Amino acid sequence: MLHTGSMLINLRRSRSDAQPQTMERLRQRVAQIAGVTLYLQPTQDLTIDAETGPTQYRVSLEGADNATVVEWAGKLAQRMQSMPGLRNVVSDAGATGTAAFVQIDRDTASRLAISASSVDDALYSAFGQRIVSTIFTETNQYRVILEARPDLLTTPESLGLLHLRTGSGEATPLSAIATISERPAPLQITHVAQYPATTLGFDTASGVSLGRAVDEIREAARDIKLPASVTLTFLGAAGAFQASLTNQLWLILAAVVCVYIVLGVLYESYIHPLTILSTLPSAGVGALLALMLSGNDLGVIGIIGIILLIGIVKKNAIMMIDFAIDAERNEKKSPRDAIHQAALLRFRPILMTTLAALFAALPLMFGWGEGAELRRPLGLAIFGGLIVSQMLTLFTTPVIYLWFDRLGRRWSERRSRHDEVREEGAA
């Protein structure tokens, strides 16, 4: 579009300000220029958006009538601009520009044997990218593009100077068969599933998470009483975040169930896998605390870190419980002596493996290299989950092991008594 422009800015490694401070300084300087609005957004190595825009996040309104969509998009954009958690709210609804319209006089054109496709071909030859020839050389080839003289067609009225070939073979100007006018027209027409749609872009304010921004936009839609005929849909990263919120509970639950099944088959028990899974809540709390204290929201990357913790954290309990079960079965030790010996002998391997995982998360947490902002929540979730889990599970796992062992023994005794009563009754 002629009213917009984009550029890519590469920042130097040796600079005094961080990326957010640099972007804010550029916004303040460009704001002093009248008639120019600057939108800045950081680039990432991994992007979810299929299309780009002036802002980092986008939401669309879809409906059956274009006028209705434009009307409610304006109301929603006005309401979003007044929210403190959002900034740089922009909408493409109702954006118009000047366009040249060529209205053909069908009767005059038919008398001269000029069709509408001939007019279209002439306009495309003048302003399109029509390839008329190719020049071949020894090492390269060059396309010959046909176009009109730039100094001749400078105004919409000068389009009438284009000549068309009539049925008799003579040339006639376009102005002889068409009326050329200049009128406002939409800059773009967007459709989603064959329905009119418009896009609203927004950025989050400093210190505001994407989840809070999504909630504020939904609240704004309820405040303006958005009709049921207009659908609100989040796009790109905002849409992926909304989808992750609806599926993350089931995703984590499915991961826990899969781990329980594998551990149950491994230990041939229904109780001991629960002891191992008891270490997961402390890891989740640690991950959430690390994200909260560092000012990061629970996004898609943070959820991936929590899922990774399910596989990393449970190794502490596996080391102790596997040793305790082996001591009970082979050395005939009591559950208390077995888990006590396991806690003493497995302390060093547990500490070594935890430190190895912590050091592996440090580059992600401190953000070294390009695109570190995207990977930082992953490192924070792993580091915080490992620290809290390491501090708690060394003390809670033996207690939970003994408690579940007693529960399992009581359940076995109760079942055996029930079976004896049934056998006596049958006899």
Tell me the CATH number at 108: 3.30.2090.10
205: in domain: yes
Residues 221 and 76 in one domain: yes
Q: Given this model, what pLDDT does residue 142 score?
A: 92
Residues 217 and 327 in one domain: no
Query: How far is it, in rounded angstroms, from Cα 59 to Cα 65?
Result: 18
Angle at which helices 335-345 and 372-426 cross, to 10°:
160
Residue type, 114: I
Q: How many residues does the chain have?
A: 427
Query: How far is it, in rounded angstroms, from Cα 55 to Cα 53?
Result: 5
Pairing of strands 171-173, 163-165: antiparallel
Quick one: average pLDDT of 131-158? Answer: 85
Is residue 141 very low, low, confident or very high in pLDDT (cuts 50, 70, 90)? very high
DSSP single-letter state for residue 230: S
Please determine, for residue 270, whether its predicted confidence score (pLDDT) is greater than 50. yes
Alpha-carbon distances, residue 260 vs 154, 236, 238 (angstroms): 74, 34, 33
Tokens 């105004």 found at: 155
Residues 70 and 148 in one domain: no
**CATH code of the domain containing 308:** 1.20.1640.10
352: in domain: yes
Pairing of strands 57-62, 190-192: unpaired
Among the candidates 150, 169, 186, a domain finishes at 186
Residue type, 265: V
CA 265 from chain centre, in angstroms, equals 37
Among the candidates 161, 186, 211, a domain finishes at 186
Is residue 305 very low, low, confident or very high in pLDDT (cuts 50, 70, 90)? confident
41: in domain: no
Residues 66 and 105 in one domain: no
Residues 200 and 307 in one domain: no
Q: What is the mean pLDDT of the chain?
A: 81
Residues 153 and 135 in one domain: yes
26: in domain: no
Q: Give tens-digit pLDDT for 367-381.
A: 666 666 777 888 888
Residues 327 and 379 in one domain: yes
Residues 101 and 91 in one domain: no
Enumerate long-range contacts of 361-365, CB under 8 Å, 24 or more apart: 361/386
Quick one: average pLDDT of 196-209? Answer: 82
DSSP 377-390: HHHHHHHHHHHHHH
Is residue 136 very low, low, confident or very high in pLDDT (cuts 50, 70, 90)? very high
195: in domain: yes
- Determine contact, residues 396/313, Cβ cutoff 8 Å: no
Residues 81 and 141 in one domain: no
User: Domain residues for 53?
Assistant: 49-95+190-239
250: in domain: no
31: in domain: no
Is residue 1 very low, low, confident or very high in pLDDT (cuts 50, 70, 90)? very low
Residues 378 and 402 in one domain: yes
Burial of 162 (0-12, 13-18, 19+ CB in 10 A): buried
Element spanning 25, H or E: helix 19-30
Among the candidates 186, 206, 226, a domain finishes at 186
Q: Given this model, what pLDDT does residue 329 score?
A: 80
Element spanning 422, H or E: helix 372-426
262: in domain: no
Nearest by Cα to 350 from 294, 395, 380, 406: 395
**Token pair in block for residue 163:** 């000549």
**CATH code of the domain containing 80:** 3.30.70.1440
Residues 175 and 231 in one domain: no
The count of structural domains within the chain is 3
Residues 366 and 334 in one domain: yes
- 199-212 CB burial, b ≥16 within 10 A, e <16: bbbbbbeeebbbbe
% the chain with pLDDT above 90: 2
Query: How far is it, in rounded angstroms, from Cα 201 to Cα 199?
Result: 7
Say what the pTM is.
0.57
Q: Given this model, what pLDDT does residue 245 score?
A: 63
